[in-house]
Amino acid sequence: MGMTISEKILAKHANLDSVKPGQLIEVKLDMILANDITAPIGIREFEKLGIDKVWDTERISLVPDHFTPNKDIKSAEQVKLVRDFAKKMGIVNYFEVGEMGIEHALLPEQGLVLPGDLIIGADSHTCTYGALGAFSTGVGSTDFACAMATGKAWFKVPESIRFVLHGKPKKWVSGKDIILKIIGDIGVDGARYMSMEFTGDGVKELSMDNRFTIANMAIEAGAKNGIFPIDNKTTEYIEEALKSGRRKDSYSVYESDHDADYYKIIEYNLEDIEPQVAFPHLPENTRPISRVNDIKIDQVVIGSCTNGRLEDLRIAASILKGRKIKKGIRCLVFPATQKIYLDALKEGIIETFIQAGAAVSTPTCGPCLGGHMGILAKGERAISTTNRNFIGRMGHKESEVYLASPAVAAASAVFGRIASPEELE
Task: Answer yes or no: do 229 and 349 share one domain.
Answer: no
Task: Answer yes or no: do 110 and 216 share one domain.
Answer: yes
Q: What is the pLDDT of residues 69-85, one digit of tens each?
A: 888 999 999 999 999 99
| DSSP state at residue 379 | T
CATH number at residue 374: 3.30.499.10
The total number of structural domains in the chain stands at 2
Kindly provide the residue ranges of all beta strands, DSSP E only, lying in 167-321, ordered along the sequence.
194-199, 225-227, 264-269, 276-278, 286-288, 299-303
Domain span holding position 294? 277-424
Task: Report the alpha-carbon distance of residue 385 to residue 317 in Å, rounded.
Answer: 14
Ramachandran quadrant class, 144 (left: phi over 0; alpha: psi -120 to 50; beta: rest): alpha
Amino acid at 197: E
- Domain's final residue, options 268, 295, 314: 268
Task: Answer yes or no: do 262 and 302 share one domain.
Answer: no
pTM reported for the whole predicted model: 0.95
Task: Answer yes or no: do 90 and 196 share one domain.
Answer: yes
> What was the pLDDT predicted at 257?
96
> What was the pLDDT predicted at 68?
86
Task: Answer yes or no: do 200 and 163 share one domain.
Answer: yes
R_g over Cα of the chain? 20
Task: Answer yes or no: do 412 and 323 share one domain.
Answer: yes
- Domain's final residue, options 202, 235, 268: 268
Task: Answer yes or no: do 261 and 292 share one domain.
Answer: no
Each of the 425 residues of the chain gets a pLDDT tens digit; together they read 799 999 999 999 999 999 999 999 999 999 999 999 999 999 999 999 999 999 999 999 999 989 988 889 999 999 999 999 999 999 999 999 888 899 999 999 999 999 999 999 999 999 999 999 999 999 999 999 999 999 999 999 999 999 999 999 999 999 999 999 999 999 999 999 999 999 999 999 999 999 999 999 999 999 999 999 999 999 999 999 998 878 887 899 999 999 999 999 999 999 999 999 999 999 999 999 999 999 999 999 999 999 999 999 999 999 999 999 999 999 999 999 999 999 999 999 999 999 999 999 999 988 888 888 899 999 999 999 999 999 999 899 999 999 999 999 999 999 999 999 999 87
> What was the pLDDT predicted at 425?
79
> What was the pLDDT predicted at 368?
84
Is-contact 55 87, C-beta < 8 A? no
Task: Answer yes or no: do 99 and 121 share one domain.
Answer: yes
Is-contact 332 326, C-beta < 8 A? no
Is-contact 408 418, C-beta < 8 A? yes
Q: What is the pLDDT of residues 279-305, one digit of tens each?
A: 999 999 999 999 999 999 999 999 999
Task: Answer yes or no: do 264 and 244 share one domain.
Answer: yes
| DSSP state at residue 270 | G
Task: Answer yes or no: do 86 and 195 share one domain.
Answer: yes
Q: How many CB atoms are located within 10 Å of the residue 60 CB?
A: 24
Task: Report the alpha-carbon distance of residue 45 to residue 128 in Å, rounded.
Answer: 26
Task: Answer yes or no: do 148 and 68 share one domain.
Answer: yes
CA 27 → CA 154, 192, 283, 299, 353, distances in Å? 6, 21, 32, 44, 45
Task: Answer yes or no: do 176 and 98 share one domain.
Answer: yes
Closest of 195, 343, 320, 341 to residue 256, by C-alpha: 195
